[in-house]
Chain A
Amino acid sequence: MRYFLRRIGFFLATLWAAVTLNFIIPRLQPGDPAEIMYKKLAGKDAELDPAKIQALRVMLGDPAGASIWDQYWNYFGALGRGEFGVSYTYFPYDVTAVIGKALPWTVILVGITLILSFLIGTVLGAFAAWRRNSRFDSVVTLGSTFIGTLPAFWLALLILFLLGYVLGWFPTSGGYDSSMPGWNLDFIADAAYHSFLPAAVLMIVGPIGWILGMRNTMIMNLGEDYVRLARAKGVPDRQIALRYAARNALLPSVTGLALALGSLLGGQILIEQVFDYPGVGRLMGQAISNKDYPLLQALLLFTIVGVLLANLIADMIYGILDPRARKASS
């Protein structure tokens, strides 16, 4: 129990530090951040419009004249109410609404492919390790090493070109077209049809890391004394593979999965850009090219919270799976 409380304590402390840094960094720039931002947006020689600068200040949580502590409080208050200001790109929508619209697309696409990749990769890796040096192992290991060297976006372009343009089997961009968004069968079928290509790319690249990671750890575990002892005990092969070798080899993979889920909120920038998929990754790409600071800051904060939460979950799961972890830090 102490282990879990400690982990939660660490999580809260890191979260506070991250949020505070997000507040401090714009204020560490020399000069008035609002003025600098204004000049960047409106051009170096533009006249300073006090009203606009004030608007920027408000966006930064910095109404003129407020002390740094008041600003800090206001900033936290705004965070608590989910106010991140107005997006430049999607004016006059505010940032929360913009992200809220993109998030489900990413969570569903990346989330499902990630979990499927993990399951497939882990099973393949474990099987390859168990049948080490067999033909199956060689094909899987060499195959994943080869595909692993190809950049994902290049693979995406290739697939888009072949299946989208040349064969015309799948739509080449967007998340849906003919149907109205909502929880109806038409729309879900339409969205699934549109997500097929990005999902395919993610499913090709996704399992590789899990395959290689699982295979290597499991081979190491198969050489451990407790596996030899299990053999000497006469434990059936299936059980040796699952309860002894795979059970222990799974530990690092599970941590990896939790961390990967954390970066999920950041989306898949390149893949989403290539397929023009309406998720968080594409949004982040747009925010960068449009210098949409409020949107960027909010996305950054989202990603940070996601990664931290994932870390917390990873620690929790590890604590449950590996009794040694609980002891070591208590």
Chain B
Amino acid sequence: MAALLEVKNLTVRYEPRLHRPLDAVRDVSFTIEEGGFVGLIGESGSGKSTLGDALLRLTTRPGRIAAGEILFDGHDLTAMTEDELRPYRWRDIATVFQSSMNALNPVVRVEDQFRDAIELHSPLRGGAVRERVRELFDMVMIEHRFIRAYPHELSGGMRQRVNLALALANHPRFVLLDEPTTGLDVVVQRSILDAVRTLQRQQGFSVLFISHDMGTVLELSDRILVMYAGKIVEEHTSADLLRRPLHPYSKGLMGSYGDPRAETVRLTYVPGRPPDLALELTGCPFAPRCPEAIGVCVESAPELLPLGDARVACHVAHAASEPGAVQPPRRFAGPEFVKTAEETREARDHDVLLQLENVSRHYRVRSNLRFITTAAVESASFELRRGAVTALVGQSGSGKSTLAKLITGVEGPTSGAITFHSDGGPLDVGSMRARQLRQYRRQVQMVFQDPYSSLNPTKTLRYILSRPLRNYHGLRGDALSRSIEQLLEKVALTPVSRYLNRYPHELSGGQRQRVVIARALAADPKLIVADEPISSLDVSIRAEILELLHGLVADDGVTILYITHDLLSARMIADQIVVLKDGRVVETGDALDVIQHPQDDYTRLLLDAIPNPFETAAATPPARAVTPAPAG
């Protein structure tokens, strides 16, 4: 098929006044054929969104397209004036932005925002526009009464459907999807992605789908571009990328996506962080993090060259394609997180640490002048075993956070009993008073979702870690310093001397989450309640934190309550899974069991929402027509 969009040697440069200039997108070339569905993956800061903005010609200062061409149907978009470009906008090229609140103008009715888009680019007027809007609403399955609504009257999922309908208003030939479902509930996410794929098949528009969510990209796209440090490092069909990735970075990304149905969980992660693009780069930008790097990698940067029906920028991969060459490993050869079914079986026999019996928590909410009682948690019963990981899985509003508050003693239950089996005998958490609570909280520590906001930005790591040590153990002087160093070692922030006097902003997201965990460990807790500890981290390093938590369980016998909306990540680390819906526990069981033989419909719904590229990969033949862009 003919190329609809052809990007040639595109470079996007940022020139901020106060910092060194940097190229966020460097010499990128690729094509998207008519009707193609192409994925673009990479960790945050890899230049994905910058590339997307450039394709839409939305790059704003201090950024600019510094070199290269974007040919749409043979016409160079980069050379056009805004007026020449306008006819292409939304008629040929449309977009769905990240699923934030704000893609729709909050003070304008939804209908008028469609009217804008339609009247600007088509001869339709008046009643014909209204008719078209109805058609579009039918297409994304939203009731017509919402046509006259304001954006805030729609739920998050509906808004994103409306955005999708809006993008398709003028039968575009190319649609850019920039993380269209990030931040939405898994079930909602699934329904939107299904709609995208169906509509794309029906209407035949081309798609560039940008996301950091490996699973959905792999499942939806025909072909995938992997981006690292502003460059495309591999281009491959989805099925083959999953089965035999060529670039070590792709291997790392693929390895970080586990198959939930496997007996033994194996996840790899890519330690380190991407290079600073403002500095001069020599050699392969991935070399410092690459387990396969050889001498030439640090000397010269590899070019993106065809290899079979793929393209890859890697010296090692190309060398391996020579006849008789040694084959590099299929999987990422770096560190790995492994969890066996054996561990789960053992954990079943451990003593109970915390027990919830018919725990309910009701809130009285004032609505105008009446009080309404709502049940955030309703007769929940489950147990946490010592040295085991229990995952509490549920969508937003299912009562996860309320349960966390009850377990940490922040709030008391309305009815039911929470019993903590400490070394000194059972304690009733619900009835504790201030002094006992202080003792209790020493044994139960929280790890929060966002490592960016849970660390004081003005304090050094030494100070941050010294606080709980002083408070809980009364340590001073040398003993305090020694303990701080031990904590940093435990979370593998070594050499310790390099980290002690750093501030949180100098660390990567993964390192910060390590500090948060170290701080929780300072109190020497028996139980750690981790609320979505990896969901704000890049996929490539999530397993790193899972490995750290797993180590605490295996080596120190810490018990973990892992709270998440993501059944997949729950499966990866947990021994036991508790599924929560509308405040009620709908299913409890061994993690693998729950995944393989779900009992409750709701669990099945959550399970179906997990993208399953493994199945898709198995169903498609390995080789597929690809049109690699002309090199150079």
Contact = CB atoms under 8 A, between A and B. Distances in A.
B121 A323 contact: no
A198 B91 CA distance: 55
Contact of A243 (B86, B89, B108, B152): B108
A154 interface: no
B117 to A, nearest CB: 5
B572 to A, nearest CB: 33
Contact of B90 (A233, A237, A327): A233
Contacts of B121: 234
A233 B103 CA distance: 12
Contacts of A251: 107
Interface string B604-620: 00000000000000000
Interface in A238-265: 243-244, 247-248, 251
A16 B103 CA distance: 44
Given A323-B150, A327-B152, A232 B104 contact: no
Contact of A225 (B82, B85, B97, B107): B97
Contacts of A236: 86
B56 A232 contact: yes
B100 A225 contact: yes
Nearest to A224: B102
A236 B117 CA distance: 11
B153 interface: yes
Contact of A233 (B82, B98, B116, B152): B116
B87 A234 contact: yes
A232 B105 contact: no
A321 interface: yes
A324 to B, nearest CB: 5
Is the interface on chain A under 10, 10 to 19, 20 to 34, or 35 or more residues?
Answer: 20 to 34
A131 interface: no
B426 interface: no
Interface in A93-146: none
B120 A233 contact: yes
Contacts of A321: 107
A232 B95 contact: yes
Is the interface on chain B under 10, 10 to 19, 20 to 34, or 35 or more residues?
Answer: 20 to 34
A225 B58 contact: no
Contact of B107 (A230, A237, A248, A327): A248
Interface core residue of A244, A321, A323 (most chain B CB under 10 Å) = A323
A230 B104 CA distance: 9
Interface in B378-396: none
B16 interface: no
A270 B189 CA distance: 61
Contacts of B117: 233
A257 B6 CA distance: 52
Given A234-B89, A234-B90, A327-B152, A229 B97 contact: yes
B94 interface: yes
B150 A225 contact: no
Interface string A218-233: 0000001110111111
Interface string B76-118: 0000001001111111011101101011111110000000110
A234 B86 contact: yes
A226 B153 contact: no
A229 B104 CA distance: 8
Contact of B89 (A233, A247, A248): A233
Contact of B105 (A231, A234, A237, A244): A244
Contacts of A232: 56, 58, 89-90, 93-95
Interface in A186-243: 224-226, 228-237, 243
Contacts of B95: 229, 232
B107 A247 contact: yes
Nearest to A239: B116
A7 to B, nearest CB: 15
Nearest to B163: A229
Contact of A231 (B58, B103, B107, B108): B58
A32 interface: no
B86 A226 contact: no
A134 B103 CA distance: 27
A226 B106 contact: yes
A129 to B, nearest CB: 14
Given A228-B97, A234-B120, A251-B107, 11 more contacts: A229-B95, A232-B56, A232-B90, A232-B94, A233-B120, A234-B87, A235-B116, A236-B86, A243-B105, A322-B106, A324-B106
Interface of B: 56, 58, 82, 85-91, 93-95, 97-98, 100, 102-108, 116-117, 120-121, 150, 152-153
21 contacts: A225-B100, A225-B103, A226-B104, A228-B58, A229-B97, A229-B103, A229-B104, A231-B58, A232-B89, A233-B90, A233-B117, A234-B86, A234-B91, A234-B120, A234-B121, A237-B82, A243-B108, A247-B107, A248-B107, A323-B150, A324-B106
